[in-house]
Structure 1
Amino acid sequence: MSFRVVLALWLAVLGVAASPLAGQTLQRDSVSGDFILEFTDIDGVHHRMVVEPRDKISPRMAVAIESSGAGYVYRYALTNEIGPRTQQPIGVVLLPCPGGDPSLSVEPAPGWNASASRTARQPECEFSFRTAWLEPGQSVGDFIVRSAWLPAPASAWVFGRAKIASLPVSFEIVPDTVVEILENIQGSYFNSIGGREVHTLVPARSPATLDNPSSGLSVIRSDLDRACGELGWITNAGVCRSLEAKLEAAERSLERGNTNSARGQLGAFLQELEAQHGPQPGKHVSDNAYWLLKINVEYVLNRL
């Protein structure tokens, strides 16, 4: 499949002029999964490079969230599942993290490093291997993020170990756009075309967002819509309708000033969420949906 359009859009985001694209093509081999990059150097010589991306992995992330003092502990577990596309060990995990939370801290899993950056354009929590690549079929737990912020859906980016591409000519005569393309394929960046996106939960919601219970329930209803829709975290339409009805009833109770009824309706919401959560047959609420809705609803409930 051709990536010319993706390449053009990506370069436009970087503010690179369209003209350097002349003589440059980027395609992905459907068999190997590698990128084929062709370009003309500054001296007018044409080159063809095979570039291995860092997405030949099958990452699965799980998260559990617990209250701890004035904040929350997010515990992530990561598996590199065995599958037809799994050819690399995993070595880097990027999570978007709240730049506005001074209490933010991270702790690595055994054999890994952890760091939190608040200065980048996209504040990030990075976990990277130290002594233990995550080979196909292996799992590792206890990547920990501590934050005062509430959970919200977000995308983590996960990267495998790839052979570093070597430039066929001197760096000085390689167009800047080609260098940027290589970095985007083999670097560790959010929205990289060379990594794997994984939907998860991160501390991305300031508690102030839910301090007003009425507006807070509106935010939670949007979470429920996403969990039942694009994210696919709740797999039964009847369960979605039932949970939505309880949230709407609580909203109407608050509009009438009846906080006792709202408490009861949110309590019923949490009871159904609990009953529908789990890996057993007939359960329809995933871990991500469970923690997203439970933590946020409990926060609102504690303010009624």
Structure 2
Amino acid sequence: MTMLIEAERLSKTYTLRKKTSRLKRERTTVEAVRDLNLAVPEGELLGYIGPNGAGKSTSIKMFTGILSPSGGRLRVAGLEPIRDRKQLARRIGVVFGQRTTLWWDLPLRDSFALLHRMYAIPDARFRENLARYVDLLDLGPLLDTPVRQLSLGQRMRGDLTAALLHDPSVLYLDEPTIGLDVTSKMVVRDFLAELNRERGTTIVLTTHDLDDIERLCRRVVVIDHGTVAYDGDLAALRARVAADRTLVVDLVAPGPAIDVPGTVVTRLDGRRQWLAFPVETNAAALIATIASRYGLVDVSIREPDIEDVVRQLYCR
């Protein structure tokens, strides 16, 4: 099995200088990444998750050659990211949900044309890839629209195309569905699943949206305090942490807290109540019980937020 990313005891340390008086500054050392060990094989669709400040972005920046490691060994696609930065740029694609790599005032078509020249993509391959991604992501009607006029979801589809025109071996995605509506999220998720399945593109997905992980990833790596805290599948992680799910119930009329064994009302606001219940509880049976005892109008289930899952992992 070919490994696309190999990190051994990877670390990144920053020195911060804080002013303590008019003439004095205090130095503080911060370990953003500490003894990180990670191996990602070719064709993997990896969920790379953890709380804010855990070291995810710092490690991704080292994987892409933006930051130089303070220690350890790192190879991506057989290259050392810092030493072989130019060669690596042709092997990777990067999409950040809050930023765009497209030219703001140019039509989408012109941004793609510039990338064609920047990456020196053979003409035939460029035309084939562009046609494929324009079709899959429904970008045809938008090609002559300036990027600044695109919605967030449209711009994200454009960024995905831009990151893939040169056929990268590995695609890094940092919050690719942040701020998108339900329909746009579905389009992006379906596209990524097909990209991984049909072309075998290795994808490293960083997100706080647990639905992204559930729908896409076969493997999850949780990073916290700069090191790997968990490496396995999502179901095993949930079983290990046992974070509660939440049932949001809308009743016909406001009333006292719902009293059903195995649940705890965590919030009450007029006709709406929030009930926490264990992940192993049969949700359908629970909803049926509530419906038989109370005037039920609507109900929805909320899975544990990834921040809660990780937080409980460290509180055990």
> TM-score, normalized by length of structure 1?
0.29
Q: TM-score, normalised by structure 2?
A: 0.28
Greater RCO (Cα-Cα under 8 Å, separation 6 or more): 2
